[in-house]
Structure formats: structure tokens, C-alpha cells
């Protein structure tokens, strides 16, 4: 198992297992250093199995026997405070209520079974979704919280059993996470140098794409994801080629020149996967 680079931490987020731990969780969380469970565990044996992957901390959900786990807790990782609770203690755990109730850079909760990643009042609020029995036509999921030098971003990973079925697609997705995390950190540093504020949310077009992918049946997910990645990377490569040649700001031009080969690598890889599917 590879360990996080200095200053970089990967935290597994899971909730609402309700006594069921899918085998695909072990792959999804294979390289995390800590797992935070946001409640409705469904038995201590679930946590024992998760401890095969990494140390685990859990909170009490509304279906867990009282007193087995802490009602809530906070932990500091990489200089960032993370608060974990099930969310039911607030009634309906909306981002506004969570942000108002808890003083932490990252707030993790469960209860609703619905994935959510949003920012409010400077706080990252995350629900990894439900990893246990499928309910409400929602796909089981977990999350990975990546903290780099005090900054956090979340990759929501659909479990292999319900979404990506191709080993090539899953390998490509992990390459995307690793390479884009590094590129995003470089971009944040450049933006800070230039005094530019980067957007914290996806634009409406990409949000619509993500919503569409979430709705895809397992049999269709790989094909739709690959097509989207080909289109996205063809557009990105064209834009970065232009900036690498024509950007007037030397720092922007250098960033484009550095990032372009990575994007081209991604485009070549996803086109290769697409060709195999035909």
C-alpha cells in the first residue's frame, strides 16, 4: 500500500452501512490512512472489517444502539479540523444547519443516504452517501477526502458493484484523481500568486453531466463516462495547446506547457479504452 506524500492525506468517508459492507469498499478505500464512519453502522463487525484497511472512527446513528459510539467528534488532519456526526441530531441535516452548528473546516455527516459535496461559509460539507443496502433508488457510495497543505477536496467514488465495471475505466479514473489533484494544486498556487479567486463549484454544464452519470444504470455507466471523458479531454487539449503557445502571461503559459502533456496522456488513454469498447 502506498502512503500519502508529505503534507497530503487521504481520508476514507463512509456512512449508513446498516450492517452490510460491500467487497468493493475495500478497493475504493484501499489507500486511505484513516476511515471516518458517519453513523448507522449496523454492528461492530462492520468496523472490524474496515480496520483491515485503516484505523476507523465512527459516530452513533439513529439506528445504532445508544452508547456504542460517540454521538459526534472532531479530529484534526493536516492542519484541518474535521467534524463528524450522523446529522439526525439536527432534524433535517441541511448544509445551512450543519455549517451553523459546527465549527470545522470540513463537516461530514450521513443519515440522508444522498451524496452531497458543497461549500458554505468557508466550510466543506460532505455526505458520502450510503454504502450499505440500496434504498430510494440511490447507488451505494463512499467518499475520499484529500487534504493537501490544509486544503481539502473530495472525490466521490461510486462503488464498483453499482457503477464502473471495467478495470480499465477504474484505473483511468484513479489516474485522473492523482494527476488532477496535483494539477489543481499547481493551479491554486498560480491563482494565489496572481490574486485570482478560483471557482469552488462545478459550472452548470458539468453539474448536469455529473447528474446524468449518477442516473446511469451500471450497464451503461462505463460507455457514457468514457464518451464524456473523450469529449472533455479533446476540448481541454485544444485549449491548453492554444494557451501554451499564445498566453501573454509567462506564468500562465508555463502552467499550460507543463499540464498539456498530462492532458494528452489522459486523452490517449481514454481513446484507447473507447476503442476497446467498439
| pLDDT tens digit sequence for 1-44 | 333 444 678 899 999 999 999 888 998 898 899 999 999 999 99
- Tell me the pTM: 0.60
pLDDT tens string 178-193: 777 777 778 878 877 8
Cell representation of residue 31 = 489507500
Q: For residue 2, what pLDDT is reported? A: 36
Name the pLDDT band for 56 (thresholds 50, 70, 90).
Answer: very high
Residue 75 clears pLDDT 90, i.e. is over it: yes
The matching CATH number, chosen from 3.40.710.10, 2.60.40.1180, 3.40.980.10, 3.60.21.10, for 8-162 is: 3.60.21.10
C-alpha to C-alpha distance for 14 and 141, rounded to whole angstroms: 8
The percentage of the chain sitting over the pLDDT mark of 70, rounded to a whole number, equals: 82
Whether residue 126 contacts residue 117, with contact meaning beta carbons closer than 8 Å, is answered with yes
Across the chain, mean pLDDT equals: 84
The band of 162, judged by pLDDT with boundaries at 50, 70 and 90, is very low
Identify the weakest region by mean pLDDT among 47-51, 83-87, 126-130, 181-185: 181-185
Question: For the chain, first and last CA: distance in Å?
Answer: 34
> Which of 133 and 214 is assigned the larger pLDDT?
133
More confident residue, 230 or 206: 230
> Coil, strand or helix: which one is 187?
helix
Which of the given ranges, 41-45, 173-177, 202-206, has the highest pLDDT on average?
41-45
Q: Report the pLDDT value the prediction gives residue 208, as an integer from 0 to 100.
A: 64
In terms of Cβ atoms closer than 10 Å to its own Cβ (0-12, 13-18, 19+), residue 92 is exposed
**Better-predicted residue by pLDDT, 198 or 2:** 198
Cα–Cα distance for residue pair 154/163, rounded to 1 Å: 18
The pLDDT value recorded for residue 127 is: 95
Choose between 123 and 58: higher pLDDT: 58
Q: Write down the pLDDT at residue 72.
A: 97
Domain edges within the chain: 8-162, 194-277
Amino acid at each position: 500500500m502506498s502512503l500519502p506524500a508529505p503534507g497530503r492525506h487521504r481520508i476514507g468517508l463512509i456512512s449508513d452501512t446498516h450492517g452490510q459492507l460491500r467487497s468493493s469498499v475495500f478497493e475504493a478505500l484501499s489507500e486511505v490512512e484513516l476511515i471516518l464512519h458517519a453513523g448507522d453502522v449496523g454492528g461492530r463487525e462492520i468496523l472490524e472489517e474496515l480496520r483491515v484497511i485503516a484505523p476507523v472512527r465512527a459516530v452513533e446513528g439513529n439506528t445504532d444502539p445508544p452508547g456504542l459510539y460517540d454521538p459526534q467528534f472532531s479530529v484534526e488532519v493536516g492542519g484541518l479540523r474535521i467534524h463528524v456526526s450522523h446529522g439526525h441530531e439536527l432534524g433535517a441535516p441541511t448544509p445551512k444547519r450543519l455549517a451553523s452548528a459546527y465549527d470545522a473546516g470540513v463537516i461530514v455527516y450521513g443519515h440522508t443516504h444522498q451524496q452531497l459535496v458543497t461549500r458554505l461559509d468557508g466550510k466543506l460539507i460532505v455526505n458520502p452517501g450510503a454504502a450499505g443496502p440500496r434504498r430510494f433508488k440511490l447507488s451505494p457510495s463512499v467518499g475520499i477526502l484529500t487534504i493537501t497543505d490544509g486544503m481539502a477536496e473530495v472525490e466521490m467514488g461510486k462503488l464498483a458493484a453499482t457503477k464502473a465495471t471495467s478495470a480499465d475505466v477504474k484505473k483511468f479514473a484513479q489516474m485522473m484523481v492523482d494527476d488532477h489533484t496535483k494539477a489543481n494544486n499547481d493551479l491554486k498556487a498560480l491563482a494565489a500568486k496572481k490574486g485570482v479567486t478560483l471557482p469552488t463549484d462545478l459550472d452548470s454544464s458539468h453539474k448536469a453531466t455529473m447528474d446524468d452519470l449518477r442516473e446511469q444504470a451500471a450497464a451503461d455507466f462505463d460507455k457514457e463516462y468514457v464518451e464524456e471523458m473523450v469529449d472533455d479531454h479533446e476540448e481541454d487539449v485544444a485549449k491548453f495547446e492554444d494557451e501554451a503557445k499564445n498566453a501573454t502571461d509567462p506564468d500562465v503559459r508555463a502552467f499550460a506547457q507543463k499540464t498539456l502533456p498530462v492532458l494528452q496522456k489522459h486523452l490517449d488513454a481514454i481513446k484507447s479504452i473507447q476503442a476497446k469498447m467498439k
